[in-house]
Structure 1
Amino acid sequence: EKKESTPPTRIPLLTSNAVDLIAETMTDTRSRRDSVDFSVTFFVTGAQFLVKKGSPIKGIKTIGGKRVAAQQGSTNARIIRERVPSAQLREFPDQPAAFQALAQGQVDAYTNDGIQLAGLKAKAPNPGAWDIVGEFYSYEPYGMALRKGDSDFRAVVNNGLMEGIESGKFFEIYDKWFGPKGEVPYPMSADVKKFMIYQAVPK
């Protein structure tokens, strides 16, 4: 059974036994490891900005004084607060609400992980009206979250991921959805692919 979640609801859903696994765009962080366990990393990305084409915002160094949207409970929001306190940060419950605010001119930029912004841009009514800008200003290793201490289930999840990486099936599936001809073009870099392969420990 699949259930929808947002950054603020993910860990409560897991710890309350409403779900058994969070398999979304969830960053594995040391603070989150206090509450849940994570699988091996299944993707690596970083935070950037989605702006209207022609925007003066070019990255994190140019958001001072600007209105920036982020999702509630995200690592991106925390980093913006810490690194650019002069930015006018506005947090939204989910990505559609944040993008609507951007489209209506209520904010100047929306920040999220690059892969998520690529998906949002690809599915927008007019993708050419938007730009994804800036170098990564964060390191976002995605892992699947599990209830803390459930080592048997964690082993099942990790073995499945590592077997997919070893066989190449993992990369075939990724290329189908995110390769040059995928629904959301976001090719995996050589460095990320190498990192994934190094995680697959021998049987």
Structure 2
Amino acid sequence: MKRAHLFAAAVLAALLAGTAHAGDTLAKAAAAGKVVFAYRESSVPFSYLAGVDQPVGFSVDLSKAILAEVKKQTGKPGLEVGWQAVTSANRIPLLVNGTIDLECGSTTNNSARAKEVDFAINHFYTGTRLLVKKSAGIKDWADLKGRKVAITTGTTNMQVVRRYNDDKGLGIEIVSTKDHADAALLVEAGRADAFAMDDILLFGLKANAKDPAALEVVGESLQVEPYACMVRKDDPKFKALVDGVITGLMKSGEFARLYDKWFLQPIPPKNQAIGLPMSKELQDNIKSPSDKPAT
């Protein structure tokens, strides 16, 4: 009986320790000797696969800089990092339940999501536009009346387009897809007339398409939204670490160098350059870093 009580006490102590670490990412990492960072499979040029299980991109480089600081603050230079693929639909649940410890991809920082997670300093600004075939004759949203538009499930773009569709009475048929690459393939195959998504992701997908010259990004930008890395809610120590790393990169000039690397220079896998200069919104945010959400 005594042995059973001791065993029960040990199990309870372990559970309490796990609970204590649940809201403290640094303590969790130090105890496990490992952190798990998320990546996207087709969010070019932020986070995507350039080979089998080889995530690369602007946000992946930010994640690696954050990893270096985690190793420093935990005093564990040999800390292991695991990379977990996520989608637009499961990225928040996997962060909340502790499967991943950081999500740096192409996630919009908005007030609705901030009820479940916390956001670090904004690191990009984008708006919802359209990827279409040049031969389709689509130049703006009005040209989509009664046509099919692919949108990735779990994105803010879905909400934006639905609201715009209702307001303008366009009768757009929305086709939901699992991820960005799936939506782009529907356009290339002629099974959707357009793919509505953040313009930078559309430029990235176009650059890596089988026939980039057959596609174009068109349409008025429906709204400007900031991207930011997600951390678990109520973990101010880890948010401060992530904010400190990103702000430090901005002040040192390393952030601008990374921007040049991923947005202006040729990138894998096809060594095509996206060719998108830094926006005024991002330049302003480098001067005065902010984690302000989209309205």
| Residue in 2 that maps onto 1:41 | 122
CA separation in 1, counterparts of 2:115 and 2:142? 32
Identity of aligned residues (%): 34
Residue by residue over 1:33-86, the C-alpha shift from the partner in whole angstroms, topping out at 9 and shown as x without a partner, is: 010000010111111100001323222233221100000011111111111031
| Residue in 1 that maps onto 2:234 | 149
Count residues in correspondence: 200
CA separation in 2, counterparts of 1:191 and 1:38? 18
Cα shift at 1:130? 0.3
* Pairing 1:114–2:195 present: no
SS of 2:94's partner is helix
Cα shift at 1:192? 2.4
| Residue in 2 that maps onto 1:84 | 165
CA separation in 2, counterparts of 1:60 and 1:38? 31
Indicate the structure whose relative CO is greater, using CA pairs within 8 Å and at least 6 residues apart: 1
> What is the TM-score of this pair, normalised by structure 2?
0.65
Cα shift at 1:186? 1.8
**Which structure has greater strand proportion?**
2
| Residue in 1 that maps onto 2:284 | 194
* Structure 1 unaligned residues grouped into runs of 5+: none
- Structure 1 window deviating more from structure 2 (182-191 vs 170-179): it is 182-191
| 4+ aligned runs moved over 3 Å, structure 1 | 180-183
* Pairing 1:28–2:118 present: no
- Structure 1 window deviating more from structure 2 (106-115 vs 183-192): it is 183-192
Cα shift at 1:3? 1.0
CA separation in 1, counterparts of 2:139 and 2:106? 24
> What is the TM-score of this pair, normalised by structure 1?
0.93
CA separation in 2, counterparts of 1:61 and 1:156? 45
Superposed CA RMSD: 1.4
Cα shift at 1:12? 0.7
CA separation in 2, counterparts of 1:30 and 1:196? 22
Amino acid across the alignment from 1:123: N
* Structure 2 unaligned residues grouped into runs of 5+: 1-81, 268-272, 291-295
